[in-house]
Chains A and B, each alone.
Chain A
Amino acid sequence: MHPSEALNTKQPATGIHPARFLLMLMMVSVFMIFAAYTSAYIVRRNEGNWLEFTLPAGFLYTTLVIALSSATMQWAWLAARKDNLAQVRIALVATLVLGLAFLVGQWLMWNQLVSQRIFFAGTDANPSGSFLYVLTGVHGFHLITGLIFLAIVLRKSFHYQVHSRQMLSIGNVTIYWHFLGALWLYLYLFLLLNH
């Protein structure tokens, strides 16, 4: 951990900045939402009347896109630590673009699901499809919050508020972004294994 991220050493604390600690707790609660959905998914599936369908292959590409965005995010963080501000901005913009690309990709997957006649709701819908929309949709919503956070940090980087002595915000957004990526990876593997 970088010194600017650490607390005043006099505090008998974890040494983690409270803002970061708050973020981590928020991530725990976000994870609990998905823990609930994925366990509900399994419980429901085991009750039968469960429509089997093949997961659109394109989810692999969106997975690769979000993995790549985690790499650019990490690049931004490393560049900030080295005070390479130009690279920070490039990497943050790249992450933002990849994040948007991921969302667009998920949207295309939804379209493809509809063309496969897998619906979210209505008389033809089965919970197996509805669950897929809920999992991707709620994850997408959190990804949007991540994009907003990214945009804020990007703005800060243009105001010279992100550098090696001010790593808190970029550190936080990096953690959150990796979390969102890992969450998607979990959901993707979960869906692959449980279809």
Chain B
Amino acid sequence: MDQLNQREQQEFQKLVEQKQMKDFMRLYSNLVERCFSDCVNDFTSSKLTSKEESCILKCSEKFLKHSERVGQRFQEQNAAMTQQMRR
């Protein structure tokens, strides 16, 4: 039912790429907001302290690993659900 022919697939692929770019920008600004909110609380200086910098590094690393793991589990759950629906 949902089969796209080759030309349609190409068109859809273009859409996917546009969305991926948008999604990446969204991820980026979200991560800035998240790590700023969690790590930066001291405004006695206009420069980031070394403590804040190390927090930001860990915050972004942890978030990317988090979202990678969620992605793996998401795929597994999704596959299990589709299989169940086919039965």
Q: Specify whether A and B are partners.
A: no
